[in-house]
């Protein structure tokens, strides 16, 4: 099936009809075209739909009401995920209309924490394909395979190899739920056009024995390939993307540390790309800490910061905070890093520890003696900030938090591991164990906490605050690359959006319902930086904000007419 006028044509002129070359059930079976009961009588006649849908023409409001009525009948979060996925596969415009109007309620279903459970069960709940799967058996054919995708323009590709899904580990091809979910947030939060997004799963095998023994697992049922073969496949993938969709931004998602850092370093200056786990997580955490400093009336350079976890997320966050400290205080990077203590599975990251350090940890390795547990590090350091990125649930115990609270009147505790079951502590625990005197944020959402007659609003360090705006800005201005400076400016922009009223409630992030404003504001800042740095591929418009805003997708049904036959 082909569409004569691509969906992007709607962006250029919403008043003209969209011409299609399909008729009848083929229209209804294409989620980008399907309106369901909203097709007008004229469209039904023009496109051969008479008799194929109920006779009454029903508008958006009634369709949304019907979806919500059925959605709220579901009590199990995974069933809600499956219901929304089915809507996504049936009517893409209606799906985004519902999602955008119910963002606070549905984001935890579409993405964290429920997407984690969906990935674990992916082969068991699979309904219909979305996106592309590329396995190592496809070596030599990737560019040819991309011809099977019938969109000529792609703005954003989110790609994962399923090796480190959230805090759940190696889920192989089941990890496709992550690129799909991230791109849904790109559309809803960042205004990328749905037809210009593409989720991709690089299936390089899995070492998850449970999946290899699962008859319903849909990926390659082999153990993961070695690095030489692995990097050869990734190289072929990148070159094929550049040839097929030269303007596409590639977002690396949920790769293990041993691949995440090398891939980022290899391609960051050659290809329009970034790693959200490293750079996006770093930016959103820095923004939250800037908000925490506003609450406390202190400076980042005055803090002592412990990271529980020393993987890609930890180093990405630490690097971003270092950049903030350098700008704020004039310290050198080396001096700023002395404010950090990172712990991995062996304990404190030190230069003469029990084993050789991975390259990304070396800049934060200390000259201190090795300490093998978090409690002793806290007693020694007396941190003002602790950031959890360990993927280990309930590791910020009552004793740990109370020990920290004994030395700091208002500790900053960021329990950022996803999904909720992997959070280092809950919001309720953090507030109870500090008598409400904590600035808390988490990776997955927690409900407000009532304690001693007060209500505390925990912040959620959701990467959705950052990556849609960065991706939108870099794509719209056709930047040649995505720089760390773009993420730094995104973090500062997000921090400035948080109101004094929100800070007074103890939350360090803005209301997620403002995500469209947040994204266009961040995209504007990213574009301005690209123009100033000579990275943009277009001429600078007079009003960048307006230029970006006018090019954001809105879930509206266009008018359809049948294309004239050649």
DSSP state of 559: P
Beta bridge partners of 560: 18
CA distance 272 to 481: 4
Name which of 21, 27, 32 is nearest 49 in CA terms.
27
Which ranges of 39-121 does DSSP label H, i.e. alpha helix?
Answer: 41-46, 60-71, 77-90, 92-101, 103-110, 114-120
Distance from CA of residue 481 to its chain's centroid?
19
Distance from CA of residue 73 to its chain's centroid?
28
How far is the CA of 312 from the CAs of 75, 159, 166, 253, 543, in angstroms?
35, 17, 12, 11, 37
Provide the angle, in degrees to the nearest 10, between the axes of the packed helices 257-267 and 312-329. Answer: 50
Phi/psi of residue 541, nearest 5 degrees: -75, 165
Tokens read off for 179: 């690129």
CB neighbour list of residue 490: distance below 8 Å, 6 or more residues apart: 283, 287, 466, 469, 470, 522, 525, 526
DSSP state of 240: H
Beta bridge partners of 274: 251
Name which of 191, 176, 166 is nearest 125 in CA terms.
176
**Residue written as tokens 């209804």?**
28
CA distance 313 to 290: 18
How many Cβ atoms from other residues are within 10 Å of residue 232's Cβ? 14
CA distance 415 to 441: 6
Q: 157-179: b or e for each residue (b if 16 or more CB lie within 10 Å)?
A: bbbbbbbbbbbbebbbbbbbbbb
Tokens read off for 80: 């809600």
Exactly one of 182, 196, 361, 422 is catalytic; name it.
182
Please report the sign of the dihedral spanned by the C-alpha atoms of residue 120, residue 123, residue 126, residue 130: positive
Tokens read off for 523: 């995209």
**Residue written as tokens 């712990």?**
343
**CA count, 13 A, side-chain hemisphere, 19:** 5
In terms of Cβ atoms closer than 10 Å to its own Cβ (0-12, 13-18, 19+), residue 406 is: exposed
Looking at 327-434, which runs of residues are DSSP E strands? 340-344, 347-348, 385-388, 412-415
CA distance 46 to 473: 38
Confirm whether 111 is a catalytic residue: yes
Tokens read off for 419: 């999904």
Exactly one of 71, 96, 111, 431 is catalytic; name it.
111
How far is the CA of 8 from the CAs of 130, 242, 553, 563, in angstroms?
19, 20, 9, 17
Distance from CA of residue 105 to its chain's centroid?
17
Indicate which residues carry an active-site annotation.
Answer: 111, 182
């Amino acid at each position: 099936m082909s569409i004569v006028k691509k969906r992007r044509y709607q962006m250029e002129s919403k008043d003209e009809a969209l011409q299609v070359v399909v008729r009848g059930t083929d229209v209804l079976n294409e989620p980008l075209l399907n309106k369901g009961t909203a097709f007008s009588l004229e469209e039904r006649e023009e496109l051969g739909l008479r008799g194929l849908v109920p006779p009454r023409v029903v508008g958006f409001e009634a369709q949304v009401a019907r979806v919500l009525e059925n959605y709220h009948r579901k009590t199990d979060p995974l069933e809600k995920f499956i219901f929304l996925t089915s809507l996504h596969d049936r009517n893409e415009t209606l799906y985004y209309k519902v999602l955008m109007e119910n963002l606070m309620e549905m984001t935890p279903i579409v993405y964290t924490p429920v997407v984690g459970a969906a990935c674990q069960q992916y082969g068991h709940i699979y309904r219909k394909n979305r996106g592309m799967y590329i396995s190592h058996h496809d070596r030599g054919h990737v560019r040819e395979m991309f011809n099977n995708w019938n969109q000529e323009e792609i703005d954003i590709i989110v790609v994962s190899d399923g090796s480190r899904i959230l805090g759940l580990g190696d889920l192989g091809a089941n990890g496709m739920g992550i690129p799909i979910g991230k791109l849904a947030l790109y559309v809803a939060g960042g205004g990328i056009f749905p037809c210009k997004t593409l989720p991709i799963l690089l299936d390089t095998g899995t070492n998850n024995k449970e999946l290899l023994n699962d008859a319903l697992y849909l990926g390659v049922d082999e153990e993961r390939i070695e690095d030489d073969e692995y990097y050869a496949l990734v190289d072929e993938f990148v070159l094929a993307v550049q040839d097929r969709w030269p303007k596409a931004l590639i977002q690396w998602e949920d790769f293990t540390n041993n691949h995440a850092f090398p891939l980022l370093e290899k391609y960051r200056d050659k290809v329009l790309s970034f790693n959200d786990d490293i750079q996006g997580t770093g930016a959103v955490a820095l923004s939250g800490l800037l908000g925490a400093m506003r609450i406390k009336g202190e400076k980042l350079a005055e803090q002592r910061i412990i990271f529980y976890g020393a993987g890609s997320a930890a180093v990405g966050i630490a690097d971003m905070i270092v950049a903030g400290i350098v700008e704020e205080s004039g310290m050198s990077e080396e001096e700023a890093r002395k404010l950090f203590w990172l712990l991995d599975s062996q304990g404190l990251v030190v230069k003469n520890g029990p084993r050789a350090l991975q390259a990304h940890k070396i800049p934060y390795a200390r000259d201190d003696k090795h300490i093998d547990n978090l409690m002793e590090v806290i007693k020694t350091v007396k941190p003002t900030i602790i950031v959890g990125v360990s993927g280990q649930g309930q590791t910020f115990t009552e004793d740990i938090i109370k020990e920290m609270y004994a030395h700091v009147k208002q500790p900053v505790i960021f329990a950022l591991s996803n999904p909720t079951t992997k959070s280092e502590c809950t919001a309720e625990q953090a507030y109870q164990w500090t008598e409400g005197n904590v600035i808390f944020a988490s990776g997955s959402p927690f409900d407000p906490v009532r304690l001693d007659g007060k209500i505390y609003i925990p912040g959620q360090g959701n990467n959705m605050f950052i990556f849609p705006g960065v991706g939108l800005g870099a794509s719209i201005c056709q930047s040649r690359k995505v720089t760390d400076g773009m993420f730094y400016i995104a973090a500062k922009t997000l921090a400035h959006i948080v109101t004094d009223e929100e800070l007074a409630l103890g939350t360090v992030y803005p209301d997620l319902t403002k995500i469209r404003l947040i994204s266009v504001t961040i995209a504007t800042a990213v574009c301005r930086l690209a123009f100033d740095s000579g990275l943009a591929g277009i001429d600078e418009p007079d009003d960048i904000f307006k230029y970006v805003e006018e090019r954001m997708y809105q879930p509206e049904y266009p008018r359809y007419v049948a294309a004239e036959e050649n």
